[in-house]
Chains A and B, each alone.
Chain A
Amino acid sequence: MATKVLDITKEHCPMTFVKTKIELSKLNEGDILEVLLAEGEPLDNVPRNAKEQGYNVLSVEHVEGTTHRVTIKK
C-alpha cells in the first residue's frame, strides 16, 4: 500500500480536481493520496467529488494558513 502526496495549493479550477483525478487513476486499490489544497473552491469540491466517485475520504485536516490536507483512499 503506497502513499502519494499531491500539492495543488497553487492550482486553480479546473486543474485542482483534474490533477487529483489523474493522480487517483494512477494508484492501485488501497493506495492513499494526500492532497494539499487551499481553502475555498478546492477544499469545497475535491473531497466531495472524490466521495461521489466512490473513493474513501479518510480525513480533512488543517495544515497551516489556508492549506488543508485531504487524505483519500482508492
Chain B
Amino acid sequence: MMEQTNATTPLVPRRGAGGEAPKKLSIIAFSGDFDKLTAVFTLGTGAAAVGYEVNIFFTFWGLDAIKRKQGRSFTGGNWLTKIFGFMMGGLKVTPTSRFNFLGAGPKIFRYLMKKNNVATLEELVEAAKALGINLYACEMAMHVLGLTKDDFIPEVKDVLGVASFLNLSDGGQTLFI
C-alpha cells in the first residue's frame, strides 16, 4: 500500500522549487465511467510525479470516484436522490463506457490490467492520494444529488464552484474528461 499524506503538502519539491511557478494541470472529472476515470487518474498521477501541481474537480457522475462508500449505497437526502445514489454507486461499481456487459466489463478490464502489470483504477487513486493531488468536489452537483462532504473520502480538500475552479486552474492546462 502506498503511504497516505496530507493532501496539502507536496511530497517533494515540485518543479519550480527554484522560484518559478510550478507547471499545473487541472482536470474536470465529469464522467463516472471506469475507463474515463482511469484516464483522469493516469494523467493526474503522471503529471504529479513529474512535478506538476494537479487539481481534479469532480462533478456530476465523476463524484462517484470520490465517494467514501465504494459500492452501492443510498446516499442522498430524499427518496429520489437516495435511489440515484444507489444506482450511481461508487468507485468499485463504475461501468465502462463501452463493453460494460451488465457490469462484467470493468471486471474483465481489471483482470487484464492486473495480468499485464498495468495499474488498476484503485491503485491509481491510492497513488493520487500519496502524491498529494488536490481533489475537489463540485458544490452544485452535490446539491442536486443530495451529497455532503461527509459522503466523500477525507482526501477531498474542498467543495468548490465554477469561479473557484477557474481561479485554481488559471495559468495551467485544463482537461475535461
Contacts and interface: CB of A to CB of B under 8 A. Distances in A.
Whether A associates with B in a native complex is yes
A10 B15 contact: no
Interface string A9-23: 011111101101110
B123 A15 contact: yes
| Size range of the chain B interface in the assembly | 20 to 34
Nearest to A45: B50
A17 to B, nearest CB: 4
Contact of B12 (A10, A12, A25): A25
A18 B117 CA distance: 14
A17 B46 contact: yes
Interface residues of A, number: 19
Given A22-B130, A22-B131, A14 B119 contact: yes
Contacts of B42: 13-14
Contacts, number: 65
- Which of A10, A11, A15, A18 has the largest count of B CB atoms less than 10 A from its CB? A18
A15 B127 contact: yes
Interface of A: 10-15, 17-18, 20-22, 24-26, 45, 49, 52-54
B163 interface: no
Contact of B45 (A10, A14, A52): A14
Interface in B5-21: 11-15, 17-18
Contact of A15 (B14, B17, B50, B119): B119
B51 interface: yes
B3 interface: yes
Contacts of A24: 12
Question: Chain A CB within 10 Å — which of B15, B46, B49 has the most?
Answer: B49
A53 B14 contact: yes
A29 B20 CA distance: 22
A52 B117 CA distance: 27
Nearest to A26: B3
A12 B11 contact: no
A49 B117 contact: no
Contacts of A20: 49
Nearest to B14: A53
A18 B12 contact: no
